[in-house]
Amino acid sequence: MNPFASMNKYLLGLKMVPINLGELFFLVEAPCNVYGFQNEQYKLILDTGLLINRASIKQIIDNKFFHIYVKEDEYAKYLASFQDAMRTLTRSLSVGDPNKNAISLMNVISLHMRHVYFDNVNDESLKLQYQGVKTLAGFLLEHSKSHPLIMTEYDKLKHNFIWAQPILSSVFLLGVLKHSQVMSKNEIESLFIASYFKDIGMSVISVDKYEAGQLNDDDKLMLLQHPKYSVQLLSGRVPLAHAYLSVIQNHHAFSLLNSYLGDEAISHTPEKVMFGFETVMVNVIDIIAAMISGRPFREATSLYDSLELVKSLIADDYPREFKLIVHYFQQFFSSKKKI
């Protein structure tokens, strides 16, 4: 049985909602019963109130329960508990080892984004995600020398690319913008937030379809139009000025989606126009972050190849921006090699 057919189970009335095994590391005890799926049936693996620690999680893994669930009528209780843990981590970022805390925050943000996608009209979840992302932006602005270490550790978490890409592209963007020395901290923070949430419009497609890699033609067309849906989902719900929503609207001006979606994408690709510094940066940093990261349908490419593509896209019209990007990534990966 396809382990990603969770939504089918849900629709068939089994009333189970999938959660991520990694979320258990942030919980002290099970807020409700947690089930594993194995041999065509659900099995109780954690009782309500049971202490959760590394030993209990290891036992779950050793028993090969890699896909875990809670009952649909207990999902709200589970989510509230996980969100409480996220709030605590967000508020205590400066307590203890700051780099370790930042990696944990990036981890929990990535895990929680799945819940935001699962219920994209839940204002409380979106607000909490915004607060976590804003806190992370402030930390990264003050600790730019730690970026290579933090990103190295984050890569080891092996998040699905749907949840990892917003973090990767936004951290790189913040680094480039700070390196440019032409923007204020508030401007960089706002662009970091816009960059992180720019793909939230992808949530109009069911999460399980992404995780299973099973998009039909209609899904692919909706995916192509996700910048529009992102603006619709964010407008009036997160404090981003119109200028930053405009950046989100145009964040695929130099689109790589054609190669993934096929010929049907061509007629929907925006015509080439000149964009401002912020929009160009969000576009091309997103491209680089995507290319140098692996996908289920392709291998990761080299930094050189990604920069060659970006060169072909912007070097003639935006030569200064291209030189800035090259210089930043040369420095970043040079520092990363020393870790």
Residue 174: the pLDDT is 98
Last residue of a domain, one of 91, 121, 152: 91
176 and 234 belong to one structural domain? yes
13 and 70 belong to one structural domain? yes
- Nearest Cα neighbor of 52 from 42, 60, 44, 41 is 60
87 and 103 belong to one structural domain? no
Residue 213: the pLDDT is 73
Residue 80: the pLDDT is 98
202 and 310 belong to one structural domain? yes
48 and 127 belong to one structural domain? no
Last residue of a domain, one of 91, 114, 142: 91
Distance CA 86, CA 116 (A): 13
- Nearest Cα neighbor of 303 from 313, 311, 314, 292 is 292
- Nearest Cα neighbor of 30 from 67, 85, 110 is 85
pLDDT tens string, the chain, 339 residues long: the values are: 343 344 344 434 468 999 999 999 999 999 999 999 988 889 999 999 999 999 999 999 999 999 999 999 999 999 999 999 999 999 998 888 999 999 999 999 999 999 999 999 999 999 999 999 999 999 999 999 999 999 999 999 999 999 999 999 999 999 999 999 999 999 999 999 999 999 999 999 887 787 777 888 888 888 889 999 999 999 999 999 999 999 999 998 876 544 444 444 434 444 555 578 999 999 999 999 999 998 877 899 999 999 999 999 999 999 999 999 999 999 999 888 777
Residue 54, C-beta contacts closer than 8 angstroms, at least 6 positions apart = 25
Domain CATH number, residue 208: 1.10.3210.10
Write out the chain in H/E/C secondary structure: CCCCCHHHHHHHHHCEEEECHHHHHHCCECCCCEEEEECCEEEEEECCCCECCHHHHHHHHHCCCCCEEEEHHHHHHHHHHHHHHHHHHHHCCCCCCHHHHHHHHHHHHHHHHHHHHHCCCCHHHHHHHHHHHHHHHHHHHHCHHHHHHHHHHHHCCCCCHHHHHHHHHHHHHHHHHHHHCCCCHHHHHHHHHHHHHCCHHHHHCCHHHHHHCCCCHHHHHHHHCHHHHHHHHHCCCCCCCHHHHHHHHCCCCCCCHHHHHCHHHHHHCCCCCCCCHHHHHHHHHHHHHHHCCCECCECCCCHHHHHHHHHHHHCCCCHHHHHHHHHHHHHHHHHHHCC
Task: Locate 256 and state its tokens.
Answer: 């790589």
105 and 86 belong to one structural domain? no
Residue 84: the pLDDT is 98
267 and 186 belong to one structural domain? yes
Residue 252: the pLDDT is 85
Cβ pair 169, 124 in contact under 8 A: no
Q: Write out the residue range of the structural domain in which residue 69 sits.
A: 1-91
Distance CA 78, CA 131 (A): 20
When divided into structural domains, the chain yields a total of 2
235 and 207 belong to one structural domain? yes
82 and 176 belong to one structural domain? no
168 and 58 belong to one structural domain? no
Burial of 123 (0-12, 13-18, 19+ CB in 10 A): exposed
177 and 301 belong to one structural domain? yes
Residue 103: the pLDDT is 96
- Nearest Cα neighbor of 328 from 122, 123, 174 is 174
